Amino acid sequence: MPQKTVLVVDDAPENAQLLGAVLGKHHRVLSATSGARALELAAGQPRPDLILLDIEMPGLDGYAVLDRLRADARTRDIPVIFVTAMDTETDELRGLERGAVDYVTKPIRPGIVVARVRTHLALRQARDDLQNQNALLEAEVARRMAENVLIQDASIRSLGRLAEVRDPETGNHLLRTQSYVRLLGEHLRALPRFARALTSDTIDVIVKSAPLHDIGKVGIPDHILLKPGRLTSDEWTVMQTHAKLGAEAIEIAKRDEAHPLAFLSVAKEIAHWHHEKWDGSGYPDRLAGDAIPVSARLMALADVFDALLSRRPYKEPMAAERAIEIIVEGRGTHFDPDVVDAFLAQRQTFVAIARTHMDSDEALLAKLSSLPSPAS
């Protein structure tokens, strides 16, 4: 075990010398004959592991020194043993109440001093070891939690990609819609109407869940999902089932979890209801207004805007100006009016996100480039 450092503070040099001789056989000993010097040594290097502090000193007495030691972050944890001729119960209680760990009376009895010092150094070492162990455990827990988050995020993206594998034209759709959803959420959280529903943590969960919005498409037959033209009424009925299929798949995943995961509940909301419309004309449940979860309302606009700008088997990409007009036309019918207002306030950033994460599509690039940049 490394040698411990003990600081002896006594205005009588002979007492300091005696304590130094007694303790120097086992420890590194520093000496100070004034309170001011004691404070300098206590905050310096090597930092004392324990301080033997006389109470009755001119200038700064032991109580004042102890108060300053406890007020300094560098020295507040150093154990202090008072050494004094004051031996009444009141004196001892006063010292202990101010933060001393023990009390040794004069005249000095070397064996008692050595035993007390040994005991409190051992206690200090045990405390430091426990703190170090706790720090290591906290670091390991933090590392594992961070690793779990990365695994969780990767799993979510992988599941989201299942739908994209079926529909290869969607490219960076997941990344773009996540960015759109975060932009909307951060803007809306300042409104009283959304203050409780859109906290910083909730927005993070919505963004994390967004890639699963179309997971139900894995259950849609290719001849419908990839049809290069308008769907028949029957085909459209089948296509609409992807919302419920996605919600059911996520519900199964929820039941398999030992502990509830917030993002799965939100992912289920988004998958189930992101095709609902503000006026109640959407699907699958014809929800209207605030009955539609906020997460699904954000995803509804993000998904439609991205679809308008993207190439699909049944359509060409649309010019950004026209896509914005369509979103505005849906204010109060397809979309929550406040969500549309948030979109309009950030429309240039929406287009910038589309540009940054666009698919390899020269036609789309040309249409996006026709809109002024966010800085203009």
At how many degrees (to 10) do helices 337-345 and 294-309 cross? 50
Question: What is the pTM (predicted TM-score) of this model?
Answer: 0.59
Q: 165-205: per-residue pLDDT in tens?
A: 555 545 588 889 999 999 999 999 999 999 999 999 999 99
Question: By three-state DSSP, how is residue 84 classified?
Answer: strand
In single-letter form, the type of residue at position 338 comes to: D
Question: How many CA within 13 A on the CB side of residue 263?
Answer: 18
**Best CA proximity match to 8, nearest among 131, 126, 147, 110:** 110
Q: What percent of the chain has pLDDT over 90?
A: 51
Helix locations, the chain, DSSP H: 13-23, 35-43, 62-71, 89-97, 110-166, 173-188, 200-209, 222-225, 233-256, 262-273, 294-309, 320-329, 337-345, 347-356, 362-369
* Structural domains of the chain, ranges and CATH numbers in brackets: 5-136 (3.40.50.2300), 167-369 (1.10.3210.10)
Distance CA(103)–CA(214), nearest Å, equals 71
CA–CA separation, 356 vs 37, rounded Å? 63
What is the reported pLDDT for 255?
78
* pLDDT tens profile 21-31: 889 888 999 99
Q: What is the pLDDT of residue 169?
A: 47
Least confident of 238-242, 263-267, 274-278: 263-267
Q: Report whether pLDDT(279) > 60.
A: yes
